[in-house]
Amino acid sequence: MESSTTPVDLNDSRTTKTFFVKISYGETSRVMLLGECKSSKIIHELMADFIPKPLEYGKFEKADIPTYFYMSEFVDLDTTTAQDPSEFCKLLAEIHRKSQTLSDKFGFGVTTCDGDRPHVVEWESDWAVFYRKLFLHTLNLDIESNGTWPKYERAAHRVADYVIPKLLTKLTWEGQPIKPSLIHGDLWERNTGINKETNLPMLFDAGSYFAHNEMELGHWACEFSETFGNKKYMDRYLEFFLKAEPAEEFEDRIRLYSLKGGMNYSAGYPGSQLRSSTCNSMLYLCEKYAPIDGIGKYDKSIGPIETGARIVSHEEIR
């Protein structure tokens, strides 16, 4: 899959309007761009100023290879200044809360992607069932990309079979079962910006699905989230959207949710150190909730949640 993005000026002789167009090639691109368009439209309907207005998704009729596009309004964004924690997290929590009226199940109507790796989004009534499927699917993507690693795979299946049901089966919020929230799906600082005209936070590159709202925060515990990995962002978010119950298991849920982001990153960037640190987090969860011999021990000296360690992002490596 190859892709390119560019602003496009359209002139009807009276005025010039600039749009943003993302063009990409192949079946993976069809899935990715359709998912982005559908995700962005729902986010825009919920909060119009939080994402560039999505306009259209389609396929070029005349092209040597299948070629697809996604078009939105063009917004001049500052993508280098860090988001204000209070302002950004207030809007994010509002999206999560407002979207709870849209679906009574977890999933999404079309396949969406994290990067160019597809999510599993078939509808489920049970969050633990949904996350287990997504978790194992992402694990398989990682194995396809990096090869087998018996210790890693054994720990992952232990998490899937024992830890996920233990931590996610009976979650409540304000005394009621958790409700599905629409999440961005790949929310780290490189998929946000500040509108230079309004000075308001904005999102882009969405790959959404309806999930437990805390799933969004799992990305912030991954080593690639340098800015959002700062604890003040999660603390501010929790001022606007309280922890689910059991609240005392919140940190372990975030660690569990971060595994999906770590495995997905490892799948997209073979050889990344995130595979080892993701395995280490699995060992932590196994030791605490489902002990088993033969997979090694958790090493707190390399745990990103404990140490705050971050990696050089893949954009800077390339």
Domain boundaries along the sequence of the chain: 1-74, 81-317
Q: Is the pLDDT of residue 9 over 90?
A: no
Q: Up-side HSE of residue 238: CA atoms within 13 Å toward CB? A: 14
Q: What is the CATH topology of the domain spanning 1-74? A: Phosphorylase Kinase; domain 1 (3.30.200)
What phi and psi, each to the nearest 5 degrees, are found at residue 143?
-65, -40
CA distances from 121 to 57, 183, 210, 255, 304 (A): 20, 12, 9, 21, 28
Percent of the chain with pLDDT over 70: 92
Q: Is the pLDDT of residue 4 over 60?
A: no
Q: Is the pLDDT of residue 8 over 90?
A: no
For domain 81-317, the CATH class is alpha beta
Round to whole Å and give the CA distance between 108 and 88. 24
pLDDT, position 316 = 44
Residue-wise pLDDT for 100-118, tens only, equals 999 999 999 999 999 999 9
* Token reading at 212: 């437990």
- Mean pLDDT, residues 188-211: 97
Rounded to two decimals, what is the model's pTM?
0.93
pLDDT, position 17 = 84
Q: Do domains 1-74 and 81-317 have the same CATH topology?
A: no
Residue-wise pLDDT for 154-196, tens only, equals 999 999 999 999 999 999 999 999 999 999 999 999 999 999 9
